Structure 1
């Protein structure tokens, strides 16, 4: 079993972690990699900050019925 990640693999695991898709082993391997790699630590910090900003933006989207109404108007 491979325990050490390459930087591109660490970035993928970081992204998976942000979306809560990473396994426990993935998270452990990422933490080990982050202990040794400053570039990936910086990437992770930026990724976390971006996710927090997006979550706090309170973005509202159209409901499915509103989208359908717009489609119908455009087709007419």
Structure 2
């Protein structure tokens, strides 16, 4: 196999690299292969565009999650309520 074919990746790998790239986990080589793939694949370009929109919306939302202590207390309350309900 020549080196030119090693530069092309299938769509399933392109999706993985797209996800990794958005979280700054993709290597420079992976990004180069993704860019080449996106030049030829309309479906993966759309996937990348939608994935970017989703990431941007999540960042804009400024969602605040519960800390571990609050989650544990909520779980304990839920389990107690479930036990009381089943009896």
Segments ≥4 residues shifted beyond 3 Å: 71-76
Hey, what's the Cα distance between the residues in 1 that align with 2:72 and 2:48?
A: 38
CA deviations 1:28-70 (Å, max 9, x no partner) are 0000111111111111000000100011111111112222333
Q: Relative to 1, partners in 2 of residues 1:75 and 1:34: Cα closer, same or farther, differing over 3 Å? A: closer
Relative to its length, the structure with more helix (as a share) is 2
One of 38, 41, 53 as aligned partner of 1:49: 53
Correspondence for 1:36: 40
One of 3, 16, 34 as aligned partner of 1:12: 16
Q: Relative to 1, partners in 2 of residues 1:6 and 1:74: Cα closer, same or farther, differing over 3 Å? A: closer
Bigger relative CO (Cα 8 Å, ≥ 6 apart): 1
Bigger Rg, structure 1 or 2: 2
User: What is the TM-score normalised by the length of structure 1?
Assistant: 0.85
Unaligned runs of 5+ in 2: 81-87
Aligned residues: 76
RMSD: 1.6
User: What is the TM-score normalised by the length of structure 2?
Assistant: 0.75
